[in-house]
Amino acid sequence: MGNFIITQILGMQWLNQLVYNLLKLLFGETFATGNWGSSLQFFIFDFIKIGILLCFLIFLVSYIQSYFPPERTKKILSKYKGVGANTLGALMGTITPFCSCSSIPLFIGFTRAGLSSGVTFSFLISSPLVDLGAFVLLTSIFGIKIALAYVVVGLVLAVIGGTIIEKTGLGKHVEPFVLDGENIDIDFIKLNQKERLSYAKEQMIFTYKKVFLYILIGVGIGSIIHNAIPQSFIESVLGSNNPFSVLFAVIAGAPMYADIFGAIPVAEALFLKNAGLGTILAFMMAVTTISIPSFIMLKKVVKTKLLMAFGSIVIIGIIIIGYTFNLIEYLFI
């Protein structure tokens, strides 16, 4: 039963079969089973599957998120201290609605509310890295074990990263204007059910439009990898036996700016071609957490020293995660 849910409902294997049959009907069996046919099949299937899952998930997640606007998260977090607070910060990061556009006010708001730099950075690391939608999508492609592993190590990275930034005192290097202002708490704006549903719907449409291009590019790259690039090449460059595979993945993924939903199809194609599991996780994490646009944003509120420290800690953390998972890969596959 669990298997049925994962392969047919979340994995939509029936759709994959349908796309194949359709291609066979239209272009004949030789084409459908050939290289171009299966590339096309991967492209159509993945694009539709990710689209459907994404819309459904964003709607559900946004509905839950409507109970945790950042203004409320800030209030909740300001009641806790220490590593517990970092953990909570990382967890709240997974459910608080977040776009790169709101990272600056969020950073300023958290800091002015007296939240420690550790909590703020745990939040900032986990927010793009881990969310409920990504978890379900990962389950559909890689199975529940790998999806859980991704979420757990993502949260651990966020907690440890935040803790290091705080304990080393690096977290103090913020621009002076960030501290120069008072904390303003507003009464939590209560929404009724109709408003929550309309918020969820609007959020769904907005997110889909926003990530549409990323999915298209991601699935496109995925289908090229799927067929045009030989498995032996992927294995030798990104397989777990190549000691540099994780470094390659992080260096290639870090400057890229894409949503987790764009990174997943590429990861999926690499996974099917036997790239190392750790290498794939490292690639997804590097793409989502580190990007040039988000650094430019953060530069407005933190000094270069802190920005560099933040980047290095996250990169080193991702590399460690990558190598660890390549070593213990056999436990998951």
* Footprint of other proteins (CB under 8 A): 69-71, 74, 97, 99, 101-102, 104-106, 108-109, 112, 177, 181, 184-186, 189, 195, 198-199, 202-203, 206
Nearer to other proteins, 190 or 243 (CB): 190
Q: How far apart are CA 65 and CA 62, in angstroms?
A: 5
Minimum Å gap between C-beta 132 and other proteins is 17
- From the list 4, 279, 276, 258, the residue with the least C-alpha distance to 140 is 4
Phi, psi of 174 (to 5 degrees): -105, 160
Minimum Å gap between C-beta 235 and other proteins is 42
Q: How far apart are CA 146 and CA 209, in angstroms?
A: 28
Nearer to other proteins, 29 or 202 (CB): 202
Residue pair 155/25 in contact by the 8 Å Cβ criterion: no
Q: Classify residue 98 by burial, with Cβ atoms within 10 Å: 0-12, 13-18, 19+.
A: buried
Nearer to other proteins, 24 or 112 (CB): 112
Minimum Å gap between C-beta 254 and other proteins is 24
| DSSP H helices in the chain | 2-4, 13-27, 29-33, 35-65, 70-77, 82-95, 103-112, 117-129, 132-142, 144-167, 176-179, 193-227, 231-238, 245-253, 260-272, 277-289, 292-299, 304-327
Minimum Å gap between C-beta 202 and other proteins is 5
The set of residues, in sequence order, having a beta carbon less than 8 Å from that of 42 and lying 6+ positions away, is 219, 222, 223, 226, 227, 269
Nearer to other proteins, 197 or 224 (CB): 197
Minimum Å gap between C-beta 157 and other proteins is 24
Minimum Å gap between C-beta 311 and other proteins is 23
Nearer to other proteins, 53 or 258 (CB): 258
Residue pair 210/104 in contact by the 8 Å Cβ criterion: no
Nearer to other proteins, 1 or 101 (CB): 101
Nearer to other proteins, 36 or 68 (CB): 68
Minimum Å gap between C-beta 215 and other proteins is 19
Residue 105 φ/ψ region, left for φ over 0, alpha for ψ in the -120 to 50 degree band, beta for the rest: alpha
